[in-house]
Each structure stands twice: as C-alpha cells, then as structure tokens.
C-alpha cells in the first residue's frame, strides 16, 4: 500500500526530484519499517479495547491519534524523499486505508467474541 501511495502521489503531484532519481519502490522499501511501526502501534492500542463502549470508527480514530508520533516519523521520512506535498498525499491515502482496515478488523473481532 505504501508503494502504491508513493507512486500515486508522484503521478498526481510530480516528483520533487528528477524523474530518473525517483524510485517509488526504493522509497517503499526504505519506509517499510516506519510504516509497519505505525500500523503495529494502532493495532496495539485497539488490542485491549475491543469491548469498549465505543464504535469501531471511534476506536480506530483514537488509535491513530495515539500513534501520531509514528505517523509523523513516516511523514518526515517521506518529506525528505518525495517532498512535502507528495508526502502529505501519501500519508492521507495511507491513513484513510489503514483506518478503514482497522475498522473492519475491529468489527470482525467483535463478532468472534
């Protein structure tokens, strides 16, 4: 997903570096650990709160709010690699995708319990 986000952002906005210097797959590989840490953080926030009296949407939103530092680390990395506007586009795309995935996971886990 991160690779797709980098590629989409580069196509929409245009890379902030010369075309022959920009490789979205390289950026994805370099950012993978930061991206994974962001997702793991959000999942860990949810883990003990599945039975909370909150909607899946509220829980997912809170999880990503609590993991803002991880998101910011990924964003700073992407800004250095693809520029501010492209990084913002990638983060927005990823946040939307990850929140919807986390909402679906919460709903699924709640039906199992």
The DSSP code for 50 is: T
The yes-or-no verdict on residue 31 having pLDDT over 60 is yes
How much of the chain exceeds pLDDT 70, in percent?
81
Tens of pLDDT, residues 41-82 = 999 999 889 989 999 999 999 999 999 999 999 999 999 999
pLDDT for residue 2: 61
Q: Which helix (H) or strand (E) holds 110?
A: helix 84-112
pLDDT for residue 21: 63
* Neighbouring C-beta atoms of residue 52, cutoff 10 Å: 12
pLDDT for residue 8: 47
């Amino acid at each position: 997903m991160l690779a797709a986000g980098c590629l989409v952002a580069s196509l929409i906005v245009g890379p902030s570096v010369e075309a022959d210097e920009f490789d979205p797959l390289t950026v994805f590989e370099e950012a993978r650990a930061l991206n994974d840490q962001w997702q793991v953080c959000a999942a860990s926030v949810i883990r003990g709160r599945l039975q909370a009296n909150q909607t899946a949407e509220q829980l997912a939103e809170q999880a990503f709010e609590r993991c803002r530092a991880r998101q910011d680390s990924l964003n700073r990395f992407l800004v250095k690699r693809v520029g501010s506007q492209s990084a913002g586009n990638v983060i927005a795309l990823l946040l939307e995708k990850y929140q919807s995935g986390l909402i679906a996971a919460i709903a699924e886990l709640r039906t199992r319990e």
